Structure 1
Amino acid sequence: MKKIGVLTSGGDSPGMNAAVRAVVRKAIFHEMEVYGVYNGYQGLMEGNIKRMELGSVGDIIQRGGTILYSARSEEFKTEEGQQKAIEQLNKFGIEGLIVIGGDGSFRGAEKLTQKGYPCIGVPGTIDNDIPGTDFTIGFDTALNTVIDAIDKIRDTATSHERTYVVEVMGRNAGDLALWAGLADGAETILIPEQPDDFDSVVRKLKRGHDRGKKHSIIILAEGVGNGFAYGKRIEEATDMETRVTILGHIQRGGSPTGFDRVLASRLGAKAVDLLLDGKAGRVVGIQNNKLVDHDIVQILTQPHKIDLDMYKLSNELSI
């Protein structure tokens, strides 16, 4: 294999640039040509592809977002769209493609692999919801962003003796809410993987108030419900002054942590190694600090699992 491509797709996450850098430099080290695909699968269909050199990825390891940009594409999900992408791959002579993104991005990589173009998936998403890896690129940075925000919110909650509901990202996965809640000592953590026992939440708030507790932090994953609606329910049920903060897209931005930079570098390089070994339809990951790879179909058919022991611990510590 002499020519490979790399693209980022779906929601951006801190560390994607570090992964792109690793792919480009690792490939060039092995005397391969590398082509950056801009604007994800949409850019692939449109031929928005440029050859990358060492200088193309200089001074990006510390930058959030993705220099290749990202876009969602409904057209690529169709046979016609996939054929357009294949025509562009043929035009540029690209023999293998590395896709940095999440679940939806990997489904596109699976389709291309089935049509004869070897693809390797690199998990990049702040949700940490890809099976087969302990961590995804961007999760650690987003986690620290959330922790920093909650630390500041707690100062205000204490000063005004209020209950705060903080809504964080995570439509189908509660990792960000769970880890942030445990790290910040939240009184309640609400995640999609566990039923919302509203009565239990109210009892805990009232029990804390009765023993003199002046404020509480409730962390709500967006997949559970709307933060403002939940805050209103809390206020009506408890008569406690309640405020709501929705952190939104601030969670996706920022310079990646050291952990995410190293993780992205290792996973990006591993993806190149797999293509050099003639592998296709694989997803790289890290388990117990060891690099691993799995069949992409296996990853796409496995459900994401939350660490229920951590969830149990958070409840035990927030009595």
Structure 2
Amino acid sequence: SARASSGVRTGDRVEVAAIPAGAAYDPSSYKEGDAPEISVIFDDDEIIVVNKPAGMTVHPAPGHPNGTLVDALLARFPELAAMAEPDGVLRPGIVHRLDKDTSGVMVVARTPFSRTALSRQFKDRIVKKTYLAIVKGKLARDRLTIERPVGRHPIERKRMSVRSNAPRDAISHLTVLARFDPADGDEMGTSLVRVRPDTGRTHQIRVHLASIGHPCLGDPLYGGKSAGGGFFHRQALHALALSIAHPRSGERLEFVAPLPGDFDEFLATKLFAADARELRRWIEL
């Protein structure tokens, strides 16, 4: 069988497998209000940019068959069903992912042309991604680059690790935006960190932050029993901004997802209004 990226040459014969019964999306299967709502930041004929909430899985998977980002997209943009993949997995237009409990900006391809073009941008590392994380402890350095290969944990298969037996290169650039003093039940203080990854390995940022002793608040997988300070019931990680070249025009576009409520509530307890305005200015740089 050919890969999605395979070229077609003169003389090739193309055979397309039928989608298994029940795997194809039926636009009539959703009535208005049945699917989860999704915040659309931008859309045109080629792309859709959304702000994925924490707690939403990107596409159907074992244990998460419904209420996914794909469900929300198909309910709002039913024409995406035409790009359902022949392997029976419903992920039309999906060219990258965020963890279920990571919030923030994602781009979705609206046409096969854009799916191919965007996939190539991610593969060639043309896409620029910016995340915000609130982590345990005060980082000593203002700027830090973590270059630690990441792969599947040698024993715990649901985890990734910098001590994998089959790691792949992974690079994350960290900038500390603010440090906060210890509060009740918090002996180490916390830091607000901007992360710009060069690579896109599974759980990369969470693994890298934990590997230097500063896991995301509320991260049960890599932070042990680290508390979320009463604000975070998921890892405190938000995909803030995404910069891509438009698939058709080549124009450089940047999209920003507003801070989610738990980030806003946490920062409101740590900052005066003037400090918060200044911090938002730095966040957007």
TM-score normalized with structure 2 length: 0.26
Highest Rg: 1 or 2?
1
Between structures 1 and 2, the one with greater helix share? 1
Structure with the bigger percentage of strand: 2
Structure number with the bigger relative contact order (C-alpha 8 A, sep ≥ 6) is: 1
